[in-house]
């Protein structure tokens, strides 16, 4: 972007047009765009191409320069055009470039065989004026761009952050993400996010990010109303210190507090930083609230399905798996799904299906379900209907829609000899193939009236033996990679080991 | 001893943008707008810079954001390479 009038003079297209018009009248002019009020010397590289006198010797150039500098000095002093004859008696003119009363340089034209007419001088004046105006315009544009661009980048950053955090509904993923982004945007070395536990009047640290190597922050809970963090939560007021900023996460109530910290080598925080953190906090509040609502919704759904499972359990009496066995089945299915890197959107329906896959057995007479001996063909035909019945029972619940194919096809076999449709290989939904393995494993390690429970190791060997016939080899591979220790852990977890906060009995 | 890197023009422009705006978190399209290059060329250059850990990323299934690293050792290396 041109910053002196000389660069505008040599670059701007409209000035090129004016110069061409003037050149037609003057014939072979030599142009001089001279910056500064009082130049000490002139650059003759362009003039030497046209003027034989200055080309001939440095002495000639000295003679020419003396004449020229005197003329420049004259025009700068009078702030008016000054026409003169050069050493070889050609006509030349100097026009000062004046802006706001200040001489910023001069335009000179020489090597003319005739004196410059009034029209020529007027045209030359327009060239100078236009060059100065263009320079002004360029400077204004640059100043405007310098002022606006950082704000545009900041706005664009806020927009990107909004997109990053608003598409995250898992709090465990969301909070560290917000903390990382706060560190990035504020060039901070650490960020901590506390969320409020209102009944206990506590702020519990939920995300801690420290970029200082070897400095793991040990952050504990804070009491609401006590200390810098607690006061921010009770007063809804942020705090700005040189190396630390605290901003409450406020909606209709205080959801928590964000703290960011810079180390001693970094610049101190300023009010603009506080403004940025407040903007981030406003976005974070919406994202956290959405994630919390989504989590609450998930818990309601999960609770409803567990209740439904328990009701079915009661309706079937002892013939159905106990709640802990259902839980084991769900845990194993989920562990396999996670081992296979299935996205959460496929894991949840699998968990639901694991709890409700035998819902259709409600319609099978008790004497068939409890029969200790081999079933007659007509009895087995009734049993084979339970996946279809189960799928029908689940249809009215919209949230269970993705779980229905899993329930419907969990008795299909990989080689196509299963029921109800005799589907083969990948035609069987992946969730159903996973549930088939988990179901068989759970059944084998459970005691039955007609046989003892197998060990987890033996059950695993049995599943491996049926890989490729009854079960999908990829699912079996993932199942076996869980290992005996993990399978034992899952069994213990299902048997009633106290669950951690927030755990849904899955992983 | 630190490894020295030669930078492509697009990589240089991207790093220049992030050095002028170290707090920025931007998408490929955003960076393409700021540095005046095609998004495809930007994405390719970003992949290289992310591989060197000069540029950090944060992504969801919907969007990927790029930002200048905060690692002081790497920032010094960038400074040395960019001059």
Contact B23 A154 (CB under 8 A): yes
Place of tokens 């060059």: A131
CB atoms closer than 10 angstroms to residue B39: 14
- Total number of domains in chain B: 1
Query: For chain A, how are helix, strand and coil distributed in percent, rounded to 5?
Result: 60, 15, 30
User: Could you list the residue range(s) of the whole structural domain that residue B14 is in?
Assistant: 9-82
Domain A5-142 and domain A320-494, same fold? Reply is no
If pLDDT is split at 50, 70 and 90, which confidence band does A503 have?
very low
Q: Is B3 contained in some domain? A: no
CATH topology of domain A168-292: Beta-Lactamase (3.30.450)
pTM here?
A: 0.67
Q: Is B4 contained in some domain? A: no
- Report the mean per-residue pLDDT for chain A: 86
And the tokens for A59? 């002495």
Choose the CATH number for A320-494 among 1.10.3720.10, 1.10.10.10, 1.10.150.120, 1.10.3210.10.
Answer: 1.10.3210.10
Mean pLDDT of A265-275: 89
Chain B interface disruption, residue of A184, A276, A291, most B CBs within 10 A: A184
Looking at domain A5-142, its CATH class is: alpha beta
Concatenated DSSP letters of A190-230: EEEEEEEEGGGTEEEEEEEEE-STT-------EETTSHHHH
Residues paired with residue A209 on neighbouring β-strands, in sequence order:
A191
pLDDT at A323 over 70: no
pLDDT at B1 over 60: no
**Ramachandran bin of A121, using left for φ above 0, alpha for ψ from -120 to 50, beta for the remaining angles:** alpha
Interface of B to A at Cβ within 8 Å reads: 21-27, 30, 34, 56, 58-63, 65, 67, 70-71
Residues of A in Cβ contact (< 8 Å) with B30: 156, 160
Residues of B in Cβ contact (< 8 Å) with A177: 58
Shortest distance between the Cα of B34 and any Cα of chain A, in A, equals 8
Please give the span between the terminal C-alpha atoms of chain B, in angstroms, as a whole number: 18
Residue A254: strand, helix, or coil: strand
Range picked from A18-22, A301-305, A325-329, B41-45 for highest mean pLDDT: B41-45
pLDDT at A105 over 50: yes
Q: Is B2 contained in some domain? A: no
Chain B interface disruption, residue of A155, A158, A160, most B CBs within 10 A: A160
Alpha-carbon span A359 to A357, nearest angstrom? 6
Place of tokens 């045209």: A123
From the number of C-beta atoms within 10 Å of its C-beta (0-12, 13-18, 19+), residue A201 rates as middle
Q: How many CA atoms lie within 13 A of B23 on its CB side?
A: 20
Q: What pLDDT, on a 0 to 100 scale, did the predictor assign at position A506?
A: 30
Shortest distance between the Cα of B69 and any Cα of chain A, in A, equals 8
Contact A181 B61 (CB under 8 A): no
pLDDT, one tens digit per residue, over A400-421 is: 899 999 999 999 999 999 988 8
A207 at interface of B, judged by CB pairs closer than 8 A: no
A153 vs B21, B56, B58: nearest CB: B21
A187 at interface of B, judged by CB pairs closer than 8 A: yes
Q: Which of residues 210-249 of A touch B (CB under 8 A)?
A: 211
Mean pLDDT of A380-393: 86
Contact A167 B61 (CB under 8 A): yes
CATH number at residue B73: 1.10.10.10
Question: What ipTM, to 2 d.p.?
Answer: 0.92
Q: Any alpha helices (H) in A167-236, and if so which ranges? A: 171-185, 227-235
Residues paired with residue A112 on neighbouring β-strands, in sequence order:
A91
Q: What pLDDT, on a 0 to 100 scale, did the predictor assign at position A113?
A: 87
Q: Is B55 contained in some domain? A: yes
Residues of B in Cβ contact (< 8 Å) with A189: 70
Alpha-carbon span A64 to A53, nearest angstrom? 9
pLDDT at A194 over 50: yes
Contact B23 A183 (CB under 8 A): no
In angstroms, what CA-CA distances link B47 with A185, B23, B50?
A: 21, 20, 5
Q: Is B68 contained in some domain? A: yes
Domain ranges of chain A: 5-142, 168-292, 320-494
B26 vs A150, A160, A177: nearest CB: A160
Shortest distance between the Cα of B41 and any Cα of chain A, in A, equals 20
Cα-Cα-Cα-Cα torsion B76, B77, B80, B83, nearest 10 degrees, comes to -90
A186 at interface of B, judged by CB pairs closer than 8 A: yes
Alpha-carbon span A499 to A490, nearest angstrom? 12
Q: How many CA atoms lie within 13 A of A94 on its CB side?
A: 27
Alpha-carbon span A226 to A495, nearest angstrom? 42
pLDDT at A130 over 60: yes
Q: Is B1 contained in some domain? A: no
């Amino acid at each position: 972007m041109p910053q002196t009038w000389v660069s505008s003079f040599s670059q701007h297209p409209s000035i090129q047009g004016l110069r061409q018009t003037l050149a037609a009248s003057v014939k072979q002019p030599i142009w001089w765009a001279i910056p500064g009020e009082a130049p000490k010397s002139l650059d003759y590289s362009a003039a030497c191409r046209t003027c034989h006198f200055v080309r001939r010797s440095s002495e000639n150039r000295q003679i020419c320069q003396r004449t020229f500098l005197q003329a420049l000095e004259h025009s700068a002093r009078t702030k008016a055009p000054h026409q003169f004859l050069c050493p070889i008696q050609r006509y030349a003119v100097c026009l000062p470039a004046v802006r706001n009363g200040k001489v910023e340089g001069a335009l000179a034209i020489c090597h003319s065989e005739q004196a410059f007419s009034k029209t020529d001088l007027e045209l030359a004046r327009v060239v100078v004026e236009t060059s100065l105006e263009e320079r002004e315009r360029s400077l204004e544009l640059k100043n405007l761009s310098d002022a606006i661009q950082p704000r545009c980048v900041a706005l664009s950053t806020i927009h990107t952050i909004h997109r990053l955090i608003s598409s995250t509904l898992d709090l465990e993923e969301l909070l560290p993400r917000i903390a990382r982004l706060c560190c990035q945007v504020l060039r901070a070395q650490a960020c901590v996010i506390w969320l409020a536990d209102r009944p206990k009047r506590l702020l519990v640290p939920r995300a801690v990010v420290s970029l200082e190597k070897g400095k793991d922050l040990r952050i504990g809970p804070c009491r609401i109303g006590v200390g810098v963090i607690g006061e921010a939560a009770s007063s809804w007021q942020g705090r700005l210190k040189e190396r630390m900023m605290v901003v409450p996460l406020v909606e209709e109530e205080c959801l928590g507090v964000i703290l960011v910290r810079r180390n001693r080598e970094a610049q101190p925080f300023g009010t603009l930083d506080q403004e940025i953190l407040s903007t981030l906090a406003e976005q974070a509040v919406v994202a956290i609230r959405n994630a919390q609502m989504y989590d609450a919704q998930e818990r309601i759904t999960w609770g409803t399905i567990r209740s439904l499972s328990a009701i079915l359990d009661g309706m079937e009496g002892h013939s159905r798996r106990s709640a802990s066995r259902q839980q084991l089945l769900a845990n194993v299915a989920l562990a396999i799904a996670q081992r296979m890197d299935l996205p959460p959107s496929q894991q949840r329906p699998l968990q639901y299906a694991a709890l409700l896959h035998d819902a259709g057995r409600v319609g099978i007479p008790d004497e068939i379900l409890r029969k200790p001996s081999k079933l007659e063909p007509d009895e087995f035909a009734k049993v084979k209907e339970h996946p279809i019945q189960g799928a029908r029972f689940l249809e009215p619940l919209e949230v269970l829609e993705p779980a229905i194919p899993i329930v419907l096809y969990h008795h299909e076999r990989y080689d196509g000899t299963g029921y109800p449709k005799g589907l083969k290989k990948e035609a069987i939904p992946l969730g159903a193939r996973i549930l088939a393995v988990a179901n068989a494993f759970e059944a084998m390690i459970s005691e039955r009236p007609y046989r003892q429970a197998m060990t987890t190791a033996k059950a695993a060997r049995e599943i491996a033996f049926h890989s490729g016939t009854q079960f999908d080899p990829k699912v079996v591979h993932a199942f076996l990679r869980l290992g005996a220790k993990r399978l034992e852990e899952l069994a213990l977890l299902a048997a009633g080991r106290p669950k951690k906060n927030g755990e849904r009995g899955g992983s | 001893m630190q490894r020295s890197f030669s930078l492509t023009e697009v990589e240089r422009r991207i790093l220049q943008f992030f050095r002028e705006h170290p707090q920025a978190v931007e998408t490929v399209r955003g960076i393409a707008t700021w540095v005046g290059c095609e998004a495809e060329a930007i994405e390719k250059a970003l992949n290289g810079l992310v591989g060197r850990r000069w540029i950090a990323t944060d992504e969801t299934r919907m969007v990927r954001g790029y930002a200048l690293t905060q690692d002081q050792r790497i920032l010094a290396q960038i400074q040395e390479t960019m001059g």
